[in-house]
Structure 1
Amino acid sequence: MGFYTLISIENEGGIMKKKNIIALILFVFFLVNIIAIIIPVFVRAEDNIKVKYNNKIIKSDVAPIIHNDRVLVPVRMIFEAIEADIEWNAKTRVVTIINGEDTIKFTIDSDIAYVNKTKHKLDTVAKIISDRTFVPLRFIAENSGLQVDWSDKERTVYLNDKEDEEKEEVKKNYLLDISAKDDEITLTFKNEDITFNSFSLSEPLRLVVDIDNCIRDTKKEPEIDSDFYKTLRYAQFSNDPIVVRLVAELNEKVEYDFKVKDNKLTVKFYEKGEKPSDDEDEEDIEDEEIIYKEPVYNKKYPTVVLDPGHGGSDPGALGEVDGEIILKEKDVNLKIALKVYKILKEEKINVYMTRGKDVYLSLLERCEYANKKNADLFVSVHNNATENPETSGTMVMYAYDTKKEGYDISGEEFAKIMQKHLVKATDAKDFGPRKNASLYVVKNTTMPAVITESLFITNEEDREKLMDNKYINDIAKAIANGIIEVLDI
């Protein structure tokens, strides 16, 4: 670009005009340099950068930009293409993207985003440019179940739906029978694939159990003679999705537990304070029921079994705010365990998990799995809970202070090492390693075993840490480092 300036001095004020023109020229050069400095901050790609979704170009009247080496796109460009819903709160400057079961929230110019209420730190922020909202493409796409690839040669971002490897035809179940005793309600189904959720309601006090993918195939009305519940009813609650709902009106505030065995679901009622803890030895197991192998402590190729506590119909402890459940222990346990798994794999450790997704496993199944793998160490990943919301801190539990036959370390020694790493990672109150010989999974595994209780999900500060990926990563590293120290590798 060239600038041509004609300067004419034809009158007595010529010298002043000349000074004004020189000043104007200097201002123009200053402005050009300022623009040159500003432009790299937001590099507009114009037609240079393209976005393809399932190999089809997404068209938009506003082009993507590059900011801090990250592609930002107009929010509506992407999410209208994949048929997601977008909400904008002008007062709070929050963008909400709802894609199926996932909700993503950005605050303009903030480096914090929330995915299903879990906090994430961003390496670039959402911006408003020319009255358009731009959001970081990769973060949004990856948290919406999309696969993201970048072709530098083609200057194109490729978005593709991830193939669901676990996609199966939903198998329907049928409720065939219902029976009621004083302290039990038993449901009998056609097959063993039983998934359910439960919750309670007040005024009147009720227990509600929803059985998924289930069709009511009985009209039986059991007689009620119970000190725990007054009435019992069940019905086809929904046809899409298919749900059978059971409602028991309770006599008073009682405790209850669920047991799934074969094709039966049993609700067991207890008087308050009498319910066994989740890990108590409710049923003695004969020695022959557990498969034992001669333990071998293999330092060169050690084997570790990780056990994410709870799962499926068993949510574990619940984090609640104003009566709303915002965090389930089963989800946090799995997230931590998966990260520990990845770290140990990188260290060339043979590592297995009792569950890698949200499924229910009995305590017996968890123990049998670890014993069959002939593991060197067993770590059951949990988080704690208490009725006192002020209680916070970290602890590790074990069953034995003596060494199990064939192993170089006792459960107590294992717990002390794990506790040391967890306290450092969480910066939480140190409750110390705790011995509890009644804990089922550490008592009935044949190798050194501990239960990690990283933080209290019922404490607000601890719960916020469990919803922060940074702390989740720190906890996972602590557990992995404890395992690595014990294995001395």
Structure 2
Amino acid sequence: MKKFGFMAVLLFVFILAFPHNGQAAAGSAKIVLDDKELSLSGNAKVENVNGNVMIPLRVVGENLGFDVAWEKKTRTVTIQKDSKVMKLVVGQKTAEVDGKKTSMNIAPILRTDTVIVPIRFVSEEMGLTVYWDNQKKIVNLYTPNFGSGNGDAGTGAGNGTNPDAGSGAAAQVDGISFSDNRLMIAVTGKAKVNDFKMSGPDRIVVDLENTGFSDTFSSASLDQNKTGSLDVNGYPDVSKVRYSLYNSNPSTVRIVIDLNYSKNYKLTNDNGLYIVDLNTSDSGTPSKPGTSGKKIVVIDAGHGDHDPGTTGVTGKKEKDFNLAMALKVGKILEQDSNFEVVLTRSDDTFLELKERAKIANDLKADVFVSIHANSAGSSAATGSETYYQREASKTLANVMHKHLVQATGLKDRGVRYGNFHVIRETKMPAVLLEVGYLSNKNDEAALFSESFQQRVAQGIADGIKEYLGVQ
């Protein structure tokens, strides 16, 4: 899904800020462009549609100097500025930008006299930096050349500072996940780190001083006491991972790994991605990713926690399907000694898009596969699609799609170009799989069938093996 002005990862700041059980709260929000409030009249409102934040395209487009035209017969919106031309069709998730097809998380919606579009599309295609002031309920948009004093959007600096971060926080925790017996902590900014072991009971403690939780993290994953936890299943060394704002002066985030017995570990920092590696021998020497000579495969379960993705016709959530598939693919590949598998998330937690890409890039992974389920305005839409963004990923996309379609048995919707952050910002061959349509009752029933999931997981694993030449 995201240089800087195009970081669509910041979309999730919005998703966190709005309740997911209605549109009224989002509709009362203001939109501010370069510190100037935009006029919203009539049906021009910010809305939350199934966890996707939508904003009125004409209001934003015209204030950015774009010409916005509406063709009623074809239900097409055309926005143009200089040589840049974008065409969007109400009800269709595929848009055309400068002659190239690009996909949106949710299709544009017509609201009487205005069309609303996902904020992700605005941030990616119109070059805006976006963040949410949760105290004042304001959607802040900044153009790349806006000169500033507003701090780093999305990091909690400037006007959008998270009040729960604690005073003096120079760094922000953006995400915490546990996979492959490793705790991964994504941090923006410079933190002072102190790690140590404790007994009675056995645990590993990581303190990050001068650090708070980012808005995106804290809004979704902390309770009123500023504490949270991960349920860690399937790892004999660990019972739970806990985290909290341990101190407010200086602001300190504490993360605790509750162990089932005493265990050695190794803490490393790779450009802000802290890894507590429990894959150690008795001497404490870790099996660091990338040093074993094995192929590193990163499997990304799209969405998670407060971000459910799309919702099926019977209410099933995309995030649950994505996670179930990622766990199954990971389990299959882990049985092959040629692979080292890392999951961006192994439970119902949330990671920003930039952190998903960062995990893969920092590990220098050989391939990156993001798993999703699709949705459309029409319940008749069905089938499987595979997306790539960079030419270097096209061969992987073709191989993966062949196995995906064979495994699903659904309509072949082809290999497509998609400007998604996780397949654009990753440095290795990367694909995004749309396995089927939750908006289609038959697809939805299949996607949540255990036998279907196992068959498709095997197909995805087989595709990865074929591409990497490991049979």
TM-score in same-fold range (> 0.5) = no
Larger Rg: 1
State TM-score, norm by structure 1.
0.43
Considering Cα pairs closer than 8 Å and 6+ residues apart, tell me whether 1 or 2 has the greater RCO: 2
TM-score by length of 2: 0.44
